[in-house]
Structure 1
Amino acid sequence: MSATRSPKVSERVAPKAADPLPSKKKPRDDEDGPDFATLLNAWLESHRSSLLDSLRRLGKQPIGSFFTCLVMAIALSLPMGLSLLLNNVERLGGSWQRAAQISLYLQMDAGNQDGEALREKIKELGGVGEAEYISRDQALSEFQKQSGLGDALRELPDNPLPGVIVVTPLEVDKAALEALRQRLSELPKVQQAQLDLVWVERLAAILKLGDRFVFGLTVLLVSALLLVIGNTIRLHIENRRTEIEVIKLVGGTDSYVRRPFLYMGALYGLGAGVLSWGVLAFGLDWLNDAVVDLAGLYGSNFSLAGVPVADGLSLLLGAVLLGYIGAWIAVARHLSELAPR
């Protein structure tokens, strides 16, 4: 009986044929590491969180944040406002070409035909923009009106005024103008060539001095702005010292710690740029009323130009960069002190 059962037992206990070895699964691409899209989304999310955190912290102190931006805006407005005023002074000086006109006094025997022919000849010369001929009779009539001596001048037997050709140069350059004056004085029928460039030179010297003053003031105020934003960011760092030490203790990188403060500095700069643009626009508009009244007394329709859009955008960009740089300097200076204890 046992013999008859042994085959069944042997069949029952006999090991089954070994299954084929399972094939190793080919690792998927995502098991090699995060792909570029995942890294990009994580990077964008980190920056978004830092920006929102900076906005939230600034919003908790609206008055302090506003006055910090206002101080920065005033410092930005001073050099920018002076630069805009200098540009308006250049416009107030009028066309420098007309300011540097050359007056050619013709000989007394030069008639209208001679004057017109000479005017056409002068217009063809290089460096000449315009040429206008004023006859003797026209010069006498204008002098009678402007001097108030019309009756006395009528008693004169002959017209004492010569014909004049007024030459407007293409550009204002002292050496070139003097050479042009010398060449015009040698033309036939020209008795004297007069060039009055003194006040133009004085205006150019004043504007050059103003440009240097604005540059020096800009350097000083930019340095002051960096100190202001650096001190402000330093206070924010001190208020979050414990939080930052914990972040670095659990493995937070320097860039992760630095990022919210850089956004905060850029936001301070953006707010200062907007306020500075508004201050400049309001200040020029307020000053323009007095300038228009003063210009009207001299028979001029001059008015101050506002803040050009290009200059305003440059002001905003510069303010944001200053805030960012100031924050970077402050964080880089204090980051080594934020190591966990």
Structure 2
Amino acid sequence: MTTWLVQHLTAMRDALRRLFGAPLNTLLSLVVIGVALTLPTAGWLAIENLRAVAGDNPGVQQISIFLTLDAGQPEIAEIESRLQQARPGSWRYVARDEALKDLRKSAGMTEIIGSLPKNPLPDAFIVTPGDVQPESLELLAKTFASWPKIAHVQLDSAWVKRLDALLRLGKLIVVLLAVLFAGALVAITFNTIRLQILAQAAEIEVAKLIGATNSYIQRPLHYFGMLQGALGGLCAALLVSTGSHFLTPPVAELAQLYGGSFTLQGLSTTDIVALTAIGGGLGWLGAKISALIHLRRIS
């Protein structure tokens, strides 16, 4: 166990020496890897923020149930009882007088409402479904519409479908970008390790002549690729976090102009650790492939 640990510590020290032995090359490699990981990470973060915005938008995930004008307290109680049995999610009752007061607060509506002989608004229930899939929302709307004393059920299903399709398309694009740039990261590490093997071909030949195994020779190269990829992942996390920091104030200001409140979501500690691990794993894979291919050519 002690021998195994010493071998790995020696390989790690050798990898660090190679990594910091050429600081300019290392810096350029880290920038390239960081940019390669930044694009899919930023895309994923944008989709998560868009999903959060959609979740806060009442027009997307709420169903309005409008009762007929002649509906009384018994009918209202029956609708509430049906909602308790169906358990579609959360809901709240909006009395017609309360709705009229809210409408009167809108700009330019005071005089119009004052000229009306009576309150034209119906009582309503605002339902926030637990399942926000478009098919589930449409099924709920049809169920509500079949209940007695229901005049209209409002659900913008077309908008929900468009948003859902947009998010699914965005996810697919991010996945394709992630695969593309993951291949680029592996290729970068592959080429870096290849150049190191070619530069140290004579040293590797001598090491083999005195009994060094392939595992012993490859181990520092594996650690080099893993460290380079992990540092590139940290670089990507820094770039994304910096961009998120600069975008947060204008995004909050834009949300305020639309009467909302939204804070741009950045990378969490778990996300940063995952990004670092992904970068390290891809770097190790590139180093592994390159070492297997090019060390065979050295007899």
TM-score interval, smaller chain:
over 0.9
Aligned equivalent of 1:72, options 27, 33, 43 = 33
8 A contact 2:19–2:228 mirrored in 1: no
CA distance in 2, matches of 1:258, 1:175: 54
Range that drifts further, 95-104 or 51-60 = 95-104
Aligned equivalent of 1:208, options 168, 174, 186 = 168
Residue aligning to 1:8: none
CA distance in 2, matches of 1:75, 1:90: 24
Q: How does 1:108-147 map to 2 (within 5 A)?
A: 108-111=69-72, 113-114=73-74, 116-146=76-106
Shift of 1:132: 2.5
Shift of 1:334: 0.6
8 A contact 1:101–1:167 mirrored in 2: yes
Q: How does 1:154-169 map to 2 (within 5 A)?
A: 154-169=114-129
Range that drifts further, 259-268 or 186-195 = 186-195
With normalisation by structure 1, the TM-score equals 0.82
Q: How does 1:38-53 map to 2 (within 5 A)?
A: 40-53=1-14
Query: Do structure 1's residue 245 and structure 2's residue 187 form an aligned pair?
Result: no
8 A contact 1:100–1:196 mirrored in 2: no
The Cα RMSD (Å) is: 2.0
CA distance in 1, matches of 2:137, 2:60: 12
SS of alignment partner, residue 299 of structure 1: coil
8 A contact 1:277–1:312 mirrored in 2: yes
Q: In percent, how many aligned pairs have the same letter?
A: 37
Q: How does 1:227-266 map to 2 (within 5 A)?
A: 227-266=187-226
* Structure of higher RCO (CA pairs closer than 8 Å, 6+ residues apart): 2
Amino acid at match of 1:335: L
Q: How does 1:69-108 map to 2 (within 5 A)?
A: 69-95=30-56, 99-108=60-69
Q: What per-residue deviation string (whole Å, max 9, x for no partner) do you get for residues 279-334 of structure 1?
A: 12111111112211111211222011121111111111111111111011111111
Structure 2: any 5+ residue segments left out of the alignment?
Answer: none
Structure 1: any 5+ residue segments left out of the alignment?
Answer: 1-39
SS of alignment partner, residue 146 of structure 1: coil
Range that drifts further, 329-338 or 43-52 = 43-52
Amino acid at match of 1:82: G
Distance 1:127 1:178, change over 3 A: farther
CA distance in 1, matches of 2:182, 2:204: 29
Query: Do structure 1's residue 180 and structure 2's residue 122 form an aligned pair?
Result: no
Query: Do structure 1's residue 61 and structure 2's residue 17 form an aligned pair?
Result: no
Query: Do structure 1's residue 323 and structure 2's residue 283 form an aligned pair?
Result: yes
Distance 1:147 1:288, change over 3 A: closer
Range that drifts further, 128-137 or 236-245 = 128-137
Q: What per-residue deviation string (whole Å, max 9, x for no partner) do you get for residues 32-82 of structure 1?
A: xxxxxxxx3333222222221221222221111121112111111111111
Q: How does 1:270-285 map to 2 (within 5 A)?
A: 270-285=230-245
CA distance in 1, matches of 2:153, 2:100: 19
CA distance in 2, matches of 1:51, 1:136: 72
SS of alignment partner, residue 124 of structure 1: helix
SS of alignment partner, residue 93 of structure 2: strand
Shift of 1:216: 0.6
Distance 1:134 1:327, change over 3 A: same
CA distance in 1, matches of 2:95, 2:89: 20
Q: What per-residue deviation string (whole Å, max 9, x for no partner) do you get for residues 93-123 of structure 1?
A: 1247873322222222223x24641443233
Amino acid at match of 2:7: S
Residue aligning to 2:274: 314
Distance 1:140 1:80, change over 3 A: same
Q: What per-residue deviation string (whole Å, max 9, x for no partner) do you get for residues 157-180 of structure 1?
A: 233222222222221233333332
CA distance in 2, matches of 1:50, 1:79: 32
8 A contact 2:237–2:272 mirrored in 1: yes
